[in-house]
Amino acid sequence: MNLRIFGFSYGVTVVSLIVAFLYGGVEALILCAILGILEISLSFDNAVVNATVLERMDAFWQRIFLTIGILIAVFGMRLVFPLVIVAVTAGLNPVEALTLALEQRPPEDPTSYAYLLNEAYPQIAAFGGMFLFMLYLDWIFEDRDVKWLTWLERPLARVGQLNRLAIVLALVVLVVLAQTLAEDPAVVLVAGSLGLVTYLAVNGLGELFEGAVEDGDDDEDGSDPQEGPATATVTGAEPKVADRAAGNSNGGPSELAKASGKAGFFLFLYLEVLDAAFSFDGVIGAFAITTDPILIALGLGLIGAMFVRSLTVFLVRKGTLQDYVYLEHGAHWAIGALATILLLGIGFHVNEIVTGLIGVAFIGAAFLSSILRNRKLAAQGIDTHRTADQMAAEKAEHHHSV
C-alpha cells in the first residue's frame, strides 16, 4: 500500500482505537476495530464507484469531496443521520434522541435507540434501495464499448433503448414490494418515491451542467456542439472519444472534459447522496455489534470512512480503473446486489456480512477478469494502458489518413 495515500488513514485508525480504549477499555477497543473492519469490507464497492465519478471532477471539486465531503460522511451519515431518523420516527427532539443513544439500552427493549432505528429500517431501505436501484438500472441499460458479462450486458443495452424503462421498472418493483412485504405500504411508497426523485433530480442536474460545460469547450475549440455522441452521465459513462484521446497519460478524461463550477457542485451532491445510500447497511448492521454511538462514530465513521477515502484516492491517482477496465462493471453489479438486498429489507433484514461478501465477490471477479484481459492483450502486443476510447480514436485517425 502507498503510505503517502494510506498513511493518514493508518494514523486515524491508531488514534480512534486509543480513544476507544480510553473510553471503554479493551472491550470497546475490540468493538471499534470490528466496526472499522465491517465498514471497510462493506464499502470497497463504494470506493470504486466514488472513483468513477471523482475522476470526472476538476481538481477543486475533488479536494472538496475528499475534505468536506468526508466530514459529512463521517459525522453526517454515521452519527447525525441515525439520530435524526430516531428523532423523527419516535417523535423526539435531537437532544432526547442523543440521550437515548447514550443510555445503551438492550436492542430488544422497545424504547431503546437501536430498536427504534431498526423499526425505521423499511423506510431507510426503500429510500436507499430505490436510489441505488435507479443508478444500477441506468448503468446496465446503457450501451458501452467495453463489456464484461457480454452475454448479459449486450441484450440489456438493447432493451435499454426503450425510453424511461429504468423509471418504469423501478416504480413497478417499488409498488410490488410495498404491497407484498411492507407492514405500512404507504410509508414505504413515499420513502421509495423520495429516493427515486432524489436520484433523478441530482443526476439530471449534474448531466445538465456537465453538458453545458462540455458544449462550452466544443465552442471554444471551434467545433460544432451538435456533433458527436451524447455527453457522459454522472454515473460513469464515457466522455467523448476526442476528449479521452486528448486525456492524461493514465487514460483519464482531459482537463477540458472534467466537470467544474455548477457541474462539479452537482457531482459533489451526487456523491454525497451515493455515499449515504451505501452507508445504510453499515449503519444498521453496526447495531448488531454495539448500540454505543461513540464507538459507531469511531469505528464506522473515522476508521471506515477514512479508508474509503484513501481507497478512492488510490484508485484515481494510480489509474486503476483504466488499467483494470472491468472494475467499474463489478462495482455496479455489486450496487445492483446491494439495491436488491435493501429493497428486500422492506420486509426482512439480510445479514450485512452477506451484503459485504456479495460486493467483494463481484469486484474480485471483475478484477481477475481484468487481469486475464490485460494478459491476453499483452500477448497480442497491445498496450493495455491505453483506454478503449483512445484505441478507437487512433483507429479512426488512421482510417481518415488512409
Cα Rg of the chain (Å, integer): 22
Cβ atoms of residues 48 and 315 within 8 Å: yes
Question: Per-residue pLDDT averaged across 260-269, rounded?
Answer: 76
Q: What is the pLDDT of residue 225?
A: 39
Query: Residue 22: pLDDT band by 50, 70, 90 thresholds?
Result: very high
Question: Per-residue pLDDT averaged across 7-17, rounded?
Answer: 90
Task: Say yes or no to pLDDT of 33 above 50.
Answer: yes
How is residue 137 written as a grid cell? Answer: 438500472
Look at the chain and count its residues: 402
Task: Say yes or no to pLDDT of 41 above 80.
Answer: no
Question: Per-residue pLDDT averaged across 143-165, rounded?
Answer: 87
Task: Say yes or no to pLDDT of 288 above 60.
Answer: yes
Specify the pTM: 0.71
Query: Residue 338: pLDDT band by 50, 70, 90 thresholds?
Result: confident
Task: Say yes or no to pLDDT of 235 above 50.
Answer: no
Tell me how far CA of residue 297 lies from CA of 69, 123, 280, in angstroms: 16, 22, 14
Q: Which of 195-199, 212-216, 251-255 has the lowest mean pLDDT?
A: 251-255
Residue 313 makes CB contacts below 8 A (sequence gap 6+) with 5, 66
The C-alpha atoms of residue 359 and residue 272 are separated, in whole angstroms, by 20
Which residue would you say has higher pLDDT here, 232 or 116?
116
Q: What residues pair up with 259 in beta bridges, in sequence order? A: 57
Q: Which of 33-42, 157-166, 213-222 has the lowest mean pLDDT?
A: 213-222
Q: What is the pLDDT of residue 133?
A: 92
The C-alpha atoms of residue 74 and residue 144 are separated, in whole angstroms, by 34
Write out pLDDT tens, residues 94-105: 788 888 877 777
Phi, psi of 57 (to 5 degrees): -90, 160
Task: Say yes or no to pLDDT of 339 above 90.
Answer: no
Cβ atoms of residues 374 and 319 within 8 Å: no
Tell me how far CA of residue 333 lies from CA of 81, 104, 232, 368, in angstroms: 27, 37, 20, 15
Which residue would you say has higher pLDDT here, 96 or 393?
96
Q: Which of 75-84, 174-183, 233-242 has the lowest mean pLDDT?
A: 233-242
Burial string for 88-117 (b: 16+ CB within 10 Å, else e) reads: ebbebeeeebbebbeebeeeeeeebbbbbb
Question: Per-residue pLDDT averaged across 266-275, rounded?
Answer: 79
The C-alpha atoms of residue 280 and residue 78 are separated, in whole angstroms, by 9
Q: What is the pLDDT of residue 312?
A: 84
Residue 353 makes CB contacts below 8 A (sequence gap 6+) with none
Which residue would you say has higher pLDDT here, 284 or 25?
25
Judge residue 380's burial from the number of C-beta atoms within 10 Å of its C-beta, 0-12 exposed, 13-18 middle, 19 or more buried.
exposed
The C-alpha atoms of residue 197 and residue 203 are separated, in whole angstroms, by 10
Q: Which of 25-34, 134-143, 283-292 has the lowest mean pLDDT?
A: 283-292
Write out pLDDT tens, residues 65-101: 888 887 777 677 777 777 787 787 777 777 888 888 7
